[in-house]
Amino acid sequence: MDRTKGKRSRSVLCLAALLPLALAACRPLSDPTSSSAPPFVATGDLDTISGHGVLRVLVPRLDRFSYLPRGGRPLDDERELIAGFARDLGLEPYWVVVDAREDLLPFLLAGQGDLVAANLTATAERRERVAFTVPLMLVREQVVTRKSDRTIEKPADLQGRRVALRRSSSFWGTLERLRRDYPGIELEEVPENVNTDEILHRVATRRLDVTVADSNVVEATLRYRDDLRVACDLTEELPVAWAVRPESKRLLRNLNRYLSESQLARRRDQVFKGDLAGLRQEKVLRLLTRNSSATYFLWHGKLMGFEYELAREFARRHGMRVEVIVPGRGEDLMTMLAEGRGDLVAAALTAPDSRTRPDVAFSRPYNFVTPLVVAPATESGLRGPADLARRTIYVRQSSPHWDTLTRLREGGVPLNLQAAPEHLEAEEIIGLVAGEIYPLTVALSHILDIELTWRDDVTAAFPLADPAPLVWAVRASNPELLAAVDEFIEREYKGDTYNVLYRKYFEDPKKIRRHVRYRSAGDQLSPYDQLVKRYADEHDFDWRLIVALMYEESGFDPFARSFAGAVGLLQVLPRTAEELGLTDLEDPETNIRAGLGYLDWVRDRFEEDLPVRDRMWFTLAAYNAGTGHVQDARRLAAQRGWNPDRWFDNVERAMLLLSHPEHARNARHGWCRGSEPVQYVREVRATYEVYLDMLARNEPPPMTVRATL
């Protein structure tokens, strides 16, 4: 079966300009603000849009998986702006997800949407077709090559080089014009489903020669990798804006007024020390935080984290949006705050002595954490500090636990205190205790709570000290902001919003692991084999592998729900299902259709010329952790001399490193608990192999299947 041909034919069908079926392949993106109204085709200005009560926003599918924001607005911020604009006009936003970027403007002109929000450069060619709003930002088109390549310093140096681009990009037109003066420039067309991040990676690894990208994308890329360089600029600053139909003059006028009032174009690197009134006027709160499991991270294209979500709720209540700023190597959160490069620090801080930072003020506590002695689950008999006598315990020397244990030893408990490597995070040290490589460690209770949502091989033996408060920080010169933060914490601590978030991150299990209660003879593995066979065949998957995946995801429980809202047999996110036009995820057939549709999409993110088995292992790892984290691991594997096209013993080794700060800060998608997808792939493979063997011998499935690392 020609998979590429089949997918392209569906896109062509979606381009039938005035047919009612046109939106069948372009479903609304699940969002709290999404309309339940059916899709329709209509042109016209704001009066027509108001008559329908819906603002249809065309967005490209790949954008929400693009990167982890470290220095600016989160991925969802643009959609929050649009939602705010729509509500001001009494409309509901309706997100129309488009598979191919080159289809965005044709869909707009055909009346399949009212607004395009896709980081589009307002080029002269595009302005001949559509109208653009005031700029969201200004960018330059830049030539990007390998850091070691010093042969390009100006546009003329592109003579004799192959410039890799998507044909739908504005860069293609720029290069075609440049070729009039320099005909020796070659253009290499890159498939439309390859995003800019991947193109840049292929340039860095010599699979492509050279490329062109917008300066804001290049700037974000150079924050996490040092093997690329900007060779030269091809253009002056160009506006990036939203697009509407030329006849939508009232819509355009209202959008421009709204964007101007929102001061969207404020520079992100601006130093600002204003208090709450100034922040409300700017409508932006710059959040300084860390990229970790307890604070802020990317999961399946969704920004998550207890600190991030709580701070975002605070900002929302004061009419502000959140810009997230993650410090780079060597940067200090408190120093950045004091210098005016951020407004609020929310990073699981324990309250320090205020005399050490007179320029910083700390909020009232919003949580209390306790240092706990962590032991393997098989350990028993540890009930208090005296039981640590002649026991070995590992902690980082830089951690406060080192001082606590040192005082305990000086007080008469003859414990053996050992320094864990400084690069290890608390989660990794806990993993070493689970594997009985380290006998014992100490971890703060909120970190251990997160670990215990997905593992049962460690236990909290006893508290090592009294609970300590966690606080937020603002500048001492911002008393209004501090008062607002304190009021928010006082109102919300242990309230509904707080409790929902706390349960989500620290109590609810991430993955439901139930024993298989279904058993039968013959060639049946689960109650859903026939459904799996039907839809697996449609997507060219081995049905037995899908059943193994289903067991790992839900234990064959159609009502299973994860901490992040994934539902059913294959743990599908509602927004993913809605993109496929499906809603009832507790229905087994619907869930299997949605899960396999998404799995097929994930597989297409990896090259077709990969070994079949490795492409499948990458797909499974991405189904668990997200495609971005897997691609980060492949790049890291290549940097360390491992094979980026092999999962076992190669990319999986790199995946484990993504939870190390020095690697996470240099990864496009940031921190990832790499041990989870590594274990996940191994367990699915183990279950699959048992199923193959069982079916070959015509035996019933086992009650449980487990793999070990």
Q: Which two tokens stand for residue 575?
A: 């927004």
**For residue 537, is pLDDT > 70?**
yes
**For residue 38, is pLDDT > 80?**
no
Question: What's the CA gap between 573 and 552, in Å, rounded?
Answer: 16
Identify the weakest region by mean pLDDT among 221-230, 371-380, 650-659: 221-230
Q: Which pLDDT value is given to residue 110?
A: 93
Q: Which two tokens stand for residue 569?
A: 């047999």
Task: Give domain 3-136+241-262's CATH architecture.
Answer: 3-Layer(aba) Sandwich (3.40)
Say if CB 249 and CB 202 are below 8 A apart.
Answer: no
Q: Which pLDDT value is given to residue 76?
A: 52
User: Tokens 């967005």 label which residue?
Assistant: 59
Ranges of CATH 3.40.190.10 domains, the chain? 3-136+241-262, 141-235, 276-353+480-496, 371-466
Q: Which pLDDT value is given to residue 355?
A: 59
Average pLDDT of every residue of the chain: 82
Q: What is the mean pLDDT of residues 574-594?
A: 84
Q: What would you measure as the largest C-alpha separation in the chain, in angstroms?
A: 83
Question: What's the CA gap between 306 and 147, in Å, rounded?
Answer: 38
Angle subtended at Cα 540 by Cα 539 and Cα 544, rounded to the nearest 5 degrees: 105
Q: What is the pTM of this model?
A: 0.55
**For residue 175, is pLDDT > 90?**
yes
Output Rg (C-alpha) for the chain, integer angstroms. 27
453-458: long-range contacts, CB 8 A cutoff, minimum separation 24? 453/506, 453/507, 453/508, 453/509, 453/510, 453/563, 454/509, 454/510, 454/511, 454/676, 456/377, 457/376, 457/377, 458/374, 458/375, 458/376, 458/377, 458/430, 458/433, 458/434
The CATH class, in words, for 529-697 is mainly alpha
**For residue 446, is pLDDT > 70?**
yes
Band the pLDDT of 696: cuts 50, 70, 90: low
Q: Which pLDDT value is given to residue 49?
A: 92
Question: What's the CA gap between 539 and 604, in Å, rounded?
Answer: 11
**For residue 382, is pLDDT > 70?**
yes
Band the pLDDT of 701: cuts 50, 70, 90: low
**For residue 663, is pLDDT > 80?**
yes
pLDDT higher for 281 or 414?
414
**For residue 24, is pLDDT > 60?**
no
191 exposure class (CB count in 10 Å sphere: 0-12, 13-18, 19+) = exposed
Q: Which pLDDT value is given to residue 136?
A: 81
Catalytic-labelled residue, pool 192, 307, 552, 553: 553
Q: Is 313 a catalytic residue?
A: no
User: Tokens 């193994």 label which residue?
Assistant: 548
Residue among 315, 231, 291, 335 at smallest CA distance from 70: 291
Alpha helices in 147-210 (DSSP H): 170-181, 196-204
**For residue 47, is pLDDT > 50?**
yes
Tell me phi and psi for residue 45, to 5 degrees: -95, -160
User: Tokens 């010093």 label which residue?
Assistant: 150
Residue 268: in which H helix or E strand, if any?
none
**For residue 267, is pLDDT > 80?**
no
Alpha helices in 182-247 (DSSP H): 196-204, 215-222
Q: What is the mean pLDDT of residues 326-340?
A: 82
The sheet with strand 392-396 has its strands ordered as 416-420, 392-396, 441-444, 371-376, 458-463
Question: What's the CA gap between 609 and 4, in Å, rounded?
Answer: 13
Say if CB 344 and CB 288 are below 8 A apart.
Answer: yes
Q: Which pLDDT value is given to residue 70?
A: 62
Alpha helices in 435-560 (DSSP H): 445-452, 479-492, 496-502, 529-538, 543-554
Residue 490: in which H helix or E strand, if any?
helix 479-492
Say if CB 573 and CB 594 are below 8 A apart.
Answer: no
Question: Which one of 3-7, 215-219, 246-250, 657-661 scores highest in mean pLDDT?
Answer: 246-250
pLDDT tens-digit map of 253-262: 999 888 866 6
Q: What is the mean pLDDT of residues 462-472?
A: 92
Residue among 477, 463, 491 at smallest CA distance from 373: 463
Q: What is the dihedral of CA 172, 173, 174, 178, to 10 degrees?
A: 100
Q: What is the 3-state secondary structure (H, E, C) of 126-148?
A: HHCCCEECCCCEEECEEEEEECC
pLDDT tens-digit map of 477-521: 999 999 999 999 998 887 888 888 888 787 754 433 332 333 333
Question: What's the CA gap between 217 and 225, in Å, rounded?
Answer: 12
Say if CB 668 and CB 68 are below 8 A apart.
Answer: yes
Question: Which one of 61-65, 207-211, 354-358 scores highest in mean pLDDT?
Answer: 207-211
Q: Which two tokens stand for residue 281?
A: 């006027």
**For residue 376, is pLDDT > 90?**
yes
Q: What is the mean pLDDT of residues 60-79?
A: 56
Question: What's the CA gap between 584 and 573, in Å, rounded?
Answer: 11
Q: Which residues pair with 417 in a beta bridge?
A: 393
Question: What's the CA gap between 590 and 685, in Å, rounded?
Answer: 25
Identify the weakest region by mean pLDDT among 184-198, 266-280, 545-559, 566-580: 266-280
- The separation between the first and the last C-alpha atoms of the chain, rounded to the nearest angstrom, is 36
**For residue 142, is pLDDT > 60?**
yes
CATH of 276-353+480-496, one of 3.50.50.60, 3.90.70.10, 3.10.20.30, 3.40.190.10: 3.40.190.10
CATH of 371-466, one of 3.40.1280.10, 3.40.50.1820, 3.40.190.10, 3.40.50.2300: 3.40.190.10
pLDDT tens-digit map of 195-222: 888 899 899 989 999 999 998 888 878 8
**For residue 473, is pLDDT > 60?**
yes
pLDDT tens-digit map of 601-648: 899 888 888 888 899 999 999 999 888 899 999 989 998 999 999 999
The CATH class, in words, for 141-235 is alpha beta
**For residue 568, is pLDDT > 80?**
yes
Q: Which pLDDT value is given to residue 495?
A: 80
CA dist 613 → 193, 204, 232 (Å): 22, 26, 41
Q: Could you count the other beta carbons within 10 Å of the beta carbon of residue 354?
A: 11
